[in-house]
Homo-oligomer: A and B are copies of this chain.
Amino acid sequence: MDLQALLDDLARESAPFAAQGRVADYIPALAAVDPSRFGIALATMDGQVLGSGVWRAPFSVQSVSKAFALALVLARDGEALWRRVGREPSGNPFNSLVQLEYEKGIPRNPFINAGALVLVDRLLSLTGDSVGALRAFLREESGNAAVDVDAEVATSEAAHGHRNAALAHFMASCGNLENPVEAVLDHYFRQCSLAMSCGDLARAGLFLANHGLRADGSRLLTRSEAKRINAVMLTCGTYDAAGDFAYRVGLPGKSGVGGGILAVLPERGVLCVWSPALDAHGNSVAGVEALDRFTTRTGWSVF
């Protein structure tokens, strides 16, 4: 299979679907992104990275970062993590307070905002610098020492972060935060504001396709833990459209409102696609389209 030709085809065919979506506009820094940008990259197990479109351009990773935060916490805490956060699909929009109240402050999974705040809180306790630990990991795995927080985006997130503050205060009222609300929110907003390219993200995610082994051959996760993160991504990784994503794409994936989606091809590699225009569920329209076409043509879904 000529993978480079395939990526080029997907970029050409999928990019126009962006016209059906809308760029996230809850903060000015995201609203200003050009909706016609499209990038796709594939990192394979043998270390190769192919790409098409603007696959080397950094964008705001937003919730894609949560997959990496989960890996870092699971690597340290193991199964104990699940006492503070569930791993069931939410069946509700991604920032819902309703479910959090119903579940008495235990977020339903680590990828809804409340759950991601718990990951940040825990990584902060474990490392003393949650976003710093994550950035160091991403730099090493991607091989790009320039990976960093976009300060303008982080400031903008904080200025529009009342809903996340509500989630954090509510969990604090339930006793499910270890650190001060303000510190957790600060690290969370900065984590979401990390800027990376499709190529960076695809490379950084390879440990998920490679049974938990990092780029340098050391082990981050057991084989079983890596598999389990993929399971959580498949069932919970794309907000309230996880069922639809599994149905159409059939791969573990994690999306962000910056328009990026990371998808894992177990034992083959990692795909990352970026197109800023989102559908009603907050997933990149052209990104999902490209992944759908990819698995249809290659047959490389997990099912």
Report chain B residues within 8 Å CB of A92: 91
Decide: B173 and A162 in contact? CB cutoff 8 A.
yes
Instruction: Report whether over half of chain A's contact residues are helix, strand or loop; otherwise say mixed.
Output: helix
What's the Cα separation between A303 and B232 when bound, in Å? 10
Q: Does A12 contact B (CB under 8 A)?
A: no
Q: Does A227 contact B (CB under 8 A)?
A: yes
Q: Does A234 contact B (CB under 8 A)?
A: yes
Stretch of A148-156, A194-202, A246-254 that contacts chain B: A246-254
What's the Cα separation between A167 and B170 when bound, in Å? 8
What's the Cα separation between A31 and B172 when bound, in Å? 21
Q: Does A179 contact B (CB under 8 A)?
A: no
Decide: B303 and A234 in contact? CB cutoff 8 A.
yes
What's the Cα separation between A130 and B142 when bound, in Å? 54
Decide: B163 and A173 in contact? CB cutoff 8 A.
yes
Decide: A227 and B301 in contact? CB cutoff 8 A.
yes
Decide: B266 and A247 in contact? CB cutoff 8 A.
no
- The minimal Cβ–Cβ distance linking A303 to chain B, given in whole angstroms, is 4
Q: Does A296 contact B (CB under 8 A)?
A: yes
Report chain B residues within 8 Å CB of A242: 88-89, 235
- The minimal Cβ–Cβ distance linking A24 to chain B, given in whole angstroms, is 15
A residues 54-112 in Cβ contact with B at 8 Å? 86-92, 96-102, 108-109
Additional A-B contacts beyond A162-B173, A165-B181, A228-B247 (8; CB < 8 A): A89-B243, A91-B91, A97-B101, A162-B172, A169-B169, A224-B296, A230-B303, A232-B247
26 A-B residue contacts at CB 8 Å?
A86-B243, A87-B243, A87-B244, A87-B247, A88-B89, A88-B241, A88-B242, A90-B91, A91-B91, A91-B92, A91-B99, A91-B108, A97-B97, A97-B98, A162-B169, A162-B173, A163-B170, A165-B165, A165-B166, A228-B248, A231-B243, A231-B303, A232-B243, A234-B234, A234-B246, A235-B242
Residues of A within 8 A of B (CB): 86-92, 96-102, 108-109, 162-163, 165-170, 172-173, 181, 223-224, 226-228, 230-232, 234-236, 240-244, 246-248, 250, 252, 264, 266, 296, 299, 301-303
